[in-house]
Copies of this chain bind each other. A is one copy, B any other.
Amino acid sequence: MRELAGDLRWLSLNWATVRERCDLGHAIAACARHGIPAIAPWREPLQAMGIGVAARRIRDHGLAVSGLCRAGMFPAADAAGRQAAIDDTRRAIDEAAAIGARCLIVLAGGMPPDSRDLALARRQARDGIAAVLPHARAAGVPLAIEPLHPMYAADRCCINTLAQANDLCAELDPDQDGGIGVAIDVYHVFWDPELEPAIARAGAAGRILAFHVCDWLVPTRDLLLDRGMMGDGVIDLRRIRGLVEAAGYAGMIEVEIFSRDWWRRDPDEVLRTMADRYQTVM
């Protein structure tokens, strides 16, 4: 395993971690101030800042871009809705290319409105990803399929295990031409009894494109906005990082925390804390 103490070189800030008190410009400056060498923007603040402006600012501060969040959400009630999601994801690929992002985070999406058919949603997500894959390859921006926790299956993401994401990559990229892989977020996968073989399989195919960290609090008070800072919860972070690195991953460790608690705090405190926890509990 990589030694993290005294060395922030693999740390990345996902903008959502400070989203209530920082626009993207302030988040870029804060990373530079704290010696955090990478950032993962979201599209809304990126578009608000202007993509050219943001790209320059990121470059001027010497930051890497561990990923762009996010596109996908393919299932829809009709063909027009599905095409709109495909078109939007193609634009996201271009945005990711413009800022030099190492990948685009792709969420499958939940069930279409008024549907109870998860299998249909999964087929629509597969078809959507297949439709944008050529554009991702041409742009040199790989699609990072992120399985989300099963509690989001209905309304956010119908890809809910790493095994499922691996299967999808194998189906859409049988010859390992690349352009598609997975994002592994500890929050979404730590519970999975099949996590170890799934990480090994993703790594063996060279498909681990991103590694996101936070923690699972006990109790968890909200399905969406109660993630913990690393070390404050029950996830065996070192074990999972060990599995991911043993599988060949040598990229960024990106901190993504949706939390009303952390969003209220001074962004400098948030960045200091995450840099400290990265070195001591990851």
| Chain A interfacial positions (CB closer than 8 Å to B) | 110-111, 115-118, 122, 149-151, 153-155, 160-161, 164, 190-193, 216, 218-221, 223, 233-236
Total copies of the chain: 2
| Bound-complex Cα distance A192 to B147 (A) | 12
Interface contact B118-A150, CB-CB below 8 Å: no
Interface contact A155-B218, CB-CB below 8 Å: yes
Contacts of A235 in B (CB 8 A): 116
Interface contact B111-A220, CB-CB below 8 Å: no
| Contact A155/B116 with A160-B191, A192-B150 known, Cβ cut-off 8 Å | no
- Taking chain A's interface residues, is the majority helix, strand, or loop, or is none over half, making it mixed? loop
Interface contact A116-B234, CB-CB below 8 Å: yes
| Bound-complex Cα distance A141 to B193 (A) | 28
* A236 touches which of B118, B149, B223, B234 (Cβ 8 Å): B118
| Bound-complex Cα distance A281 to B224 (A) | 29
| Bound-complex Cα distance A149 to B191 (A) | 10
With a 10 A CB-CB cut-off, give which of A122, A153, A160, A234 has the most chain B CB atoms.
Answer: A234
CB-nearest residue of chain B relative to A150?
B191
* A149 touches which of B110, B116, B151, B220 (Cβ 8 Å): B151
Contacts of A160 in B (CB 8 A): 191-193
Contacts of A223 in B (CB 8 A): 151, 219-221, 223
With a 10 A CB-CB cut-off, give which of A154, A218, A223 has the most chain B CB atoms.
Answer: A154
Contacts of A116 in B (CB 8 A): 234-236
| Bound-complex Cα distance A98 to B19 (A) | 57
